[in-house]
Amino acid sequence: MTQINRQHKDRIFRLLFADEKNKANTLALYNALNHSSYTDADELEITTLEDALYIKMKNDLSFVIADRMNLYEQQSTHNPNMPLRGFLYFASLYEKYLKTNEFSILLKKHIKIPTPKYVVFYNGIDKRPAVEKLRLSDAFQIPDGSGEFEWTATVINLNHEANGDLLSRCKPLYDYTYLIGKIQLYHKTMMIEDAVDKAVDECIETDVLRDFLIAHKSEVKSMYLAEFDEAAFKKGAREEGLEEGREEGRIEGRIEGRNEHLHEQIASKIKKGKSLEVIADEVEETPDAIREIYERLSEELKK
């Protein structure tokens, strides 16, 4: 079965904010969050990790500026494990920092490290508070209220009206949420691939991320579809009991999530007059594997 993330290279958020060529966007986002006014993007050092965790997901964006180690993540589904993920990411970031600066924790000298800040941007469709504080201690099997061992993820809901001021202070972030919002809106009445195409074209026409989308249109489309696959997998996994560790639920949840998007892809391509063989190649399956779906959808679309 094709992997749910199809080994996608990046996320749209990461391409927009974590690419060295877009450091001005990164700086604008930092200023908006911290009410600061830095103007020199070269003062910002991007430290984003590659393939940091076991599921081959990169952290979206990390950087150092003004002696602060910042980690920004984007999530389209609520995830209570973000504090633990952030804890693991920061451990790797600080390990890299020590090696780069040739510091040794075995020496008596007290090493100073950049102050951490961990922010998660949520832009999913579920109702969530404007700001949430997720704490590592909530995951402890034995409750510990001492505060001695803590790691906190601040989750900012980009859909919440209370965060409109933040969006107004950072145009790249506003434009990003506008694009995602349009995709989600159009997907209510059309196939996901068509929804992405329409949203991207509309944004280009209305000067929302125009230059960025013209340069990366095909990448943006494949990235969003990969994220859609991932979200579908998580939805199916929850419904089928993945969180409870049941193997049957794990398998069925993955299949349900994958098939939901696969059916949409095939139907959309049939409408465009593509053959079984061409569609199979584009969705990374064999013709025999999708033949039954292809024939059934072809008949349904003729009605």
Instruction: Quote the pLDDT of residue 6.
Output: 36
Q: pLDDT digit string (tens) for 178-227?
A: 999 999 899 889 888 899 999 999 999 999 999 999 999 888 888 888 77
- Assign 3-class secondary structure to the chain: CCCCCCCCCCCHHHHHHCCHHHHHHHHHHHHHHHCCCCCCHHHCEECCCCCCCCCCCCCCEEEEECCEEEEEEEECCCCCCHHHHHHHHHHHHHHHHHHHCCCCCCCCCCCCCCEEEEEEEECCCCCCCCEEEEEHHHHCCCCCCCCCCCCEEEEEECCCHHHHHHHHHCHHHHHHHHHHHHHHHHCCCCCHHHHHHHHHHHHHHCCCCHHHHHHHHHHHHHHHHHHHHHHHHHHHHHHCCHHHCCHHHHHHHHHHHHHHHHHHHHHHHHHCCCCHHHHHHHCCCCHHHHHHHHHHHHHHHHC
Residue 243 clears pLDDT 80, i.e. is over it: no
Instruction: Quote the pLDDT of residue 149.
Output: 92
Instruction: Quote the pLDDT of residue 253.
Output: 46
Q: pLDDT digit string (tens) for 260-302?
A: 677 788 888 888 888 888 888 787 777 877 888 888 888 888 7
Residue 57 clears pLDDT 70, i.e. is over it: no
